[in-house]
Structure 1
Amino acid sequence: MREEPLPQIKTLKSSNFDEVVHEVKSIAGIAKNNHTHHLVLVSGVPGAGKTFVGLTLAHDIEKAVYLSGNGPLVDVLQDSLQNKTFVQALYGYKTDYIRYGKVPDEHVIIFDEAQRAWDSKKMNGVKSEPDIIIEIAKHKSWSVVVGLIGEGQEIHIGEEGGIGLWNAAIRNHDIHVHAKHHQTIFPNAKHYYENKNLHLNTSLRTHNALKYFEWVEEFIAGHFERCKEIQQQLEKERFMLKFVKSLDEAKALVQNLYEGTDKTYGIVISSGLKNPKGVKVVPFSDRYTTPKHHVAYFNYPDSPYYCRKLDYAATEFQVQGLELDMSIVYWGSDLQWKNGEWKASNHKQGAEDPYQMKLNAYRVLLTRGRDGVIICY
C-alpha cells in the first residue's frame, strides 16, 4: 500500500477521493471519542475508486479491516499486498463469530459491495450478513461499519435485498447513519446525516470511463441508437470499443495493440455459457491450490492461466472488482437480442430475478477494461 501500485483494482480516482477518505476518518474519530456506533455508506459508479477507498481506510486506521465476500478479489489483493491482516474474506470473519462466538478486535469494519450482502435465506438462518456485522460492531465500546456501495452488480443468489437489509439490521441498535441517500431509506437510524461528501464523484480525467459506463447502461437497456452516439464520443476520447466476429481477430487486435508493453489484457466470459468455442474457462481452485487459478490469471505470467496468454477466460465471479487494461468480452448464447429484447438462458437456479442477474453478469463483464473493451460475438 505504501510503495507499490495496485494495478489489478479499479484505479480511476475520483476528484474528491481524499475528501471522502477524510470524511470517514472524521466520523471514526467522533465514534471513538463519544463511544457511539455508526453506519457509513460510501457510494460511487464503477471505477470511481470504492475499493481503493476501502483499502486506504483499512490500511490507515488502527483496528480496521477490509472485508469482501468476493473471494477471488480477496485472493488477488492478499497475493498482491503479501498481507492477510487488513484484507480478509467475509466468509471466515462471519463464520468465526457465528460458529465459535469469536468477537474480532476491529472497531472499524469496511464491508465491500454492501448492496450485495446476503439475506437470511442465503445465510440459512434468521440473520442476514448485515445483522451479523452490526451485532459484531455492537460488542465494541464504539464502532464504524463502512459499507461500500456499487450499483447493478448483484450476481450471486441471496444478494438481491440491497440496502434495505442494512436498515433492517440497525433496528433498535442506536446506530447513527451517514450517507448521500435521502433519509427515508433509513427510518431505523437513531440519527440520519445526509452527507454528499460520501459519494465518489469523478474527475475530468475519467470522463471517457464515465461515458463508457453510460454506454454500458444504454446497451443493457437495448437503446442501441444512443449507444452509437456515445461510441462516437468515446472514439474521440481514445477509449477503444470494438465489436469483432471472431476470437482470433480479437486476440490479434489486442496483441498488436500492446506488443512490447506490460499492459494486461484477457478474455472474460459469462459463467452461464456452456462449452465455449476456442477458449477454456479458468477452473475452480480447491483450498490447497497455490497460487489459485484466478490469482494466476492476474498475477503470474508463467502460469498457463495468465490473462495475456489468451488461452483461458475468467468469469464474472473471478473478475468482479478487478480489472485489465483491455478486456475481450466473449459474448455468449446465454444473452441474445431477439425481437426487440434480450433473451436470457442458463439462469442461476433459485434467483428471485434470474433475468436481472444475467444482465448484471454481463454488466460486470463489460466494465472490466481500463483502456477499452473488445466484444467478440
Structure 2
Amino acid sequence: MARCLYNSTIREFLQLSPEALLGRFVNNYHGAALTTTNEAWANEIHIMQEVLQPWMDEDGQVIFEYDIPRLGKRIDVVLLLRGLIFCLEFKVGERDMLQSNIEQVLDYALDLKNFHLLSQNRIIVPILVPTRFRTSSSEFIPSVYDDSIYNPLVTGANGLQKLITDVLAHAGAIAPDPSLGADWIISPYSPTPTIIEAAKKLYESHSVEDITRHEADKVSTDRTIAYILNVIKTSREKGEKSICFVTGVPGAGKTLVGLDVAVKQSYQNGDKLVEDEGAVYLSGNGPLVAVLTEALAIDNQKKCKARGEKKNMSDSRREVGKFIQMIHRYRDNMLAKIKNPVENGELEIDPQKAMKLAKSGYGEVEHVAIFDEAQRSWTHKRLADYLKRGGTYGNKLKVPNFPYSEAAFLIWSLDQREDWATIVCLVGGGQEINTGEAGISEWIKALNEKFTHWQIYISDKLTEAEYAEGRVNELLADNNKVTFSPELHLGVSLRSFRAENLSAFVHSLLSFNPDASTWYNTIKERYPIVLTRDMTKARAWLRKNTRGSQRSGVLVSKAAARFKPLAVDILDQGDENAVHWFLEDKNDIRSSNFLEDAATEIQVQGLELDYTCVLWDADLRCENGQWRYYNFNGRTAWREEAGKTEGSLERRKYMLNAYRVLLTRARIGMVICVPEGNPNKTIGGFPEDATRLPEFYNGTYEYLKSIGLEEI
C-alpha cells in the first residue's frame, strides 16, 4: 500500500462492497480525510465498479491514488488492462472540460513515460473524467509528443466504459495481456535518455550563476568540482562507497557546485550520455527547489520563444526535475521498499515491494546523490516521531520504531547499490534553523557506527566551531577511512570578498566578538550595512539603492511576532508563494520588491537577494552583553526561552542561527531595522502595547550602533 491507497485485480475490486472499499481507503490514508475527499472516493468507487464489469475475468489491475515515484504527484486511478495503461483523472460533480485539467492528466502520462521504468515501452491513455460531462471523445490520435501516448481523452462518467472499449479496439488490444501486472506498482524511478538529454540542454542554456547568485571565484568552484568528480571516478574504479563533505560560506557557490556535479557526472565525455552513472541534486528546502526549478523553466521558455519554438512550461519543469528534486520524495521512495514493521532495529528490503535491478540492486537509479544543506537532516527522534504518525499530512507511510536518523537512512539508501556510490554533502556552518535538525555530527555518527566501510573525504574547514560544535576531529579520531582536503572548502577570492568577510562579520556580531567593528569597517565601503529604527526609512533606502533588475526584500525570523504595526506581513507558506516572491517583476504585488510581504529564514535559506532589510523583532534581544530569547504566546506576552534542558538549549541555537541566515542573504547591501517599540501610555498610565515596549528593542539597537553601523 506504500505507493498507492488501494490496488487489486479487477475481480477482487468488483467483489468487494463499496462500503468495504471506502473503509480500506480511509484506513490506508494516514491523515484526516476531508468529507469532500471521502465523497470523491465513494463516487470514483461507484463509477469504476460499474465501468469494469465487462473485464471482470481478465488479468487487469485497478489502482487508486498512485504516487508516481519521487515526483510528488498522485493519479486518481490507474487501470492496467490488455497491456495498456489508462490514467484517469476524476473531477467529481463537474460539467465542464477545463484546459488546466487536460494538461494535468497529460502531465501524469508524460511523467510515467519519462520516469517510470515499466511504463516506458507501453501505450499510455490519459482520460479526464468530469463526471457530469455530457459527451465523450471519439477521435483517437497520438499526442504531439509522438511517444505512444494518446492525446488526452475526455468523457463523463456515463461514457467511460464505452470510451475504454473503443480505445482497446483502436489500439488492437483485443485479447487479455497478463504481462502488465502487479509488478507495475513497484516499478523503479528511471529517467529515459530523452528526458536526460532535454534536462542537460535546458541546464546548459541558462546562466546558473545568476540563479544561485553565488560570488565564488570560478577557479575555486572548478577545483572543488574536479576533486569531487575524481572521488566519484575512484569509487567507480575500486567499487567503493564514498562520501564528500563540502563547506563554504554563504554565497560561495555550494548550490552551483552541486548542480554542476549532477550534470557533469552524467556527461563525462562532452555531450555523450554515460549510461547508468547519473547523479541527482537533492534538497530538503522546498522554496529553494521550487525557485530554482521555476527560474530555469522560465528562462528556457524565453529562449524557446525567441527561437520560434513552442514548448509547454510543464515540459521545462519536468526536465529540470531530472536533476533537482526534493530529498523527502527520494526518502519516501526508499521507505516504500522496506519491511514494515521494522524488526530488531535493522532495516531490510521487502522483495515484494521493490524490484531488484542488475547494477543498482534495490537502490535508486543514480550512483551519486548530492544533498544540499546536509546540516539540516533530521535527528533520529524527529524522523522516528514523524514516521510513527505517518507524516504530517495524508497518505504517508506509517513506520513504527524507525531506527535511523535521516542522515543514516540516506547513507543506507545509497548503500543498497551493489556496485558503488558517492554522496556529496553540501554543508552550511551554523545554519540549523529548525527543531530536529541534526547538524553534521549525525552524519559522522552514522559513518562511525553503521557504515564503517565508506570512504570519507572531508573539508579541512569542517573542524571549525560552526560545524558539529567544533568536534569533528574528536568524532573522527578513530576512523581510518578519513581524508581531509582544502579542495572541499569553497574559498572566496579577493575580488569577491563579500561572502567571506560578511560571514566573518555576522559570526562576530552574533558571538559578541570585539572584532565585529573591525570586520564592519573592512566591508562597509563596498558592502553597505546601515541601521534604522523606522521601516519607512528602511523601505526608502532599499528603493533608492535597488536599480534595474536588482531585487530587494524584507526578512524576519519565523519567531518574530509584532511586525503588523510596521505594515509588514509574513509571506504565506507554500513553495509557489516563494516562487512569486523571488521571481516576479516589480509590477507584481507578490514580488519581494513591493516590500510588503516579509520572508522568513525558512523561505530564504539557500537563496539571496541583492538588497535586504532585516527587521529585528523582540524574539532576540541584547541585554547586558548577551542574547536573550523570547517566544510570543500569540496573544498578550513574550515568554523567555531560558531553560537548561537540552531541548531549550537547542531551540536557542536555532533562534540565533535564524538571524545568521537572515543577515547573510544580501549580495550587495542591507539595512537592519530595530523598531523603537511603542512608548505610549493609556489614560490610566498603563502601556498602550505591552508587547512592543521600547526596552525590548533598545539593547539590540545600542549594541548594533556600538559596532559602528551607520544610522540613516
* TM-score, structure 1 as length reference: 0.92
Q: Distance in 1 between matches of 2:580 and 2:484?
A: 42
Quick check: 1:240–1:372 contact (8 Å CA) kept in 2? Answer: yes
Aligned to 1:288: none
Q: Among 540, 543, 559, which residue is 1:255 paired with? A: 543
Quick check: 2:435–2:650 contact (8 Å CA) kept in 1? Answer: no
Q: Distance in 1 between matches of 2:212 and 2:261?
A: 15
Q: Distance in 1 between matches of 2:484 and 2:227?
A: 13
Query: Residues 171-190 of structure 1: matches in 2 within 5 Å?
Result: 171-173=449-451, 174-181=453-460, 184-186=474-476, 189=479
Unaligned runs of 5+ in 1: 286-290
Quick check: 2:554–2:592 contact (8 Å CA) kept in 1? Answer: yes
Matched residue of 1:61: which SS?
helix
Aligned to 1:300: 584
- Name whichever of 58-67 and 200-209 sits farther off: 200-209
Q: Distance in 2 between matches of 1:166 and 1:211?
A: 28
**Number of positions where the alignment pairs a residue of Structure 1 with one of Structure 2:** 368
Q: Among 498, 501, 517, which residue is 1:208 paired with? A: 498
Shift in CA distance, 351/53, structure 1 to aligned 2, threshold 3 Å: farther
In the alignment, structure 1 residue 365 sits paired with structure 2 residue 580: no
Quick check: 2:506–2:663 contact (8 Å CA) kept in 1? Answer: yes
Matched residue of 2:380: which SS?
coil
Aligned to 2:617: 332
Q: Distance in 2 between matches of 1:358 and 1:199?
A: 26
Deviations 1:80-105 (A, max 9, x none): 22311111111111011113456321
Q: Among 246, 250, 265, which residue is 2:552 paired with? A: 265
Q: Distance in 2 between matches of 1:209 and 1:154?
A: 19
In the alignment, structure 1 residue 194 sits paired with structure 2 residue 471: no
Query: Residues 224-263 of structure 1: matches in 2 within 5 Å?
Result: 226-236=515-525, 238-259=526-547, 261-263=548-550
In the alignment, structure 1 residue 283 sits paired with structure 2 residue 487: no
Aligned to 1:89: 326
Aligned to 1:2: 204
- Name whichever of 101-110 and 48-57 sits farther off: 101-110
Matched residue of 2:336: which SS?
helix
Q: Distance in 2 between matches of 1:233 and 1:299?
A: 32
Aligned to 1:146: 424
Q: Distance in 1 between matches of 2:518 and 2:487?
A: 32
Quick check: 2:235–2:421 contact (8 Å CA) kept in 1? Answer: yes
In the alignment, structure 1 residue 13 sits paired with structure 2 residue 13: no
More relative contact order in 1 or in 2 (CA 8 Å, sep 6+)? 1
In the alignment, structure 1 residue 341 sits paired with structure 2 residue 618: no
Percent sequence identity is: 30
In the alignment, structure 1 residue 64 sits paired with structure 2 residue 279: yes
Q: Distance in 2 between matches of 1:333 and 1:191?
A: 46
Larger radius of gyration: 2
One-letter amino acid of the structure 1 residue matched with residue 364 of structure 2: P
Unaligned runs of 5+ in 2: 1-202, 267-277, 298-319, 339-353, 355-362, 385-401, 464-472, 632-639, 675-712
One-letter amino acid of the structure 1 residue matched with residue 576 of structure 2: K
Shift in CA distance, 195/233, structure 1 to aligned 2, threshold 3 Å: closer
Q: CA RMSD in A?
A: 2.1
One-letter amino acid of the structure 2 residue matched with residue 80 of structure 1: A
One-letter amino acid of the structure 2 residue matched with residue 44 of structure 1: G
Deviation of 1:217 (Å): 1.0
Quick check: 2:553–2:593 contact (8 Å CA) kept in 1? Answer: yes
Q: Distance in 1 between matches of 2:229 and 2:648?
A: 37
One-letter amino acid of the structure 2 residue matched with residue 42 of structure 1: V
Deviation of 1:340 (Å): 2.0
Deviations 1:172-196 (A, max 9, x none): 5310111134765335756222222
In the alignment, structure 1 residue 45 sits paired with structure 2 residue 249: yes
Deviations 1:95-149 (A, max 9, x none): 1111345632110011112222111101013211111111111121100011111
Q: Among 130, 151, 156, which residue is 2:407 paired with? A: 130
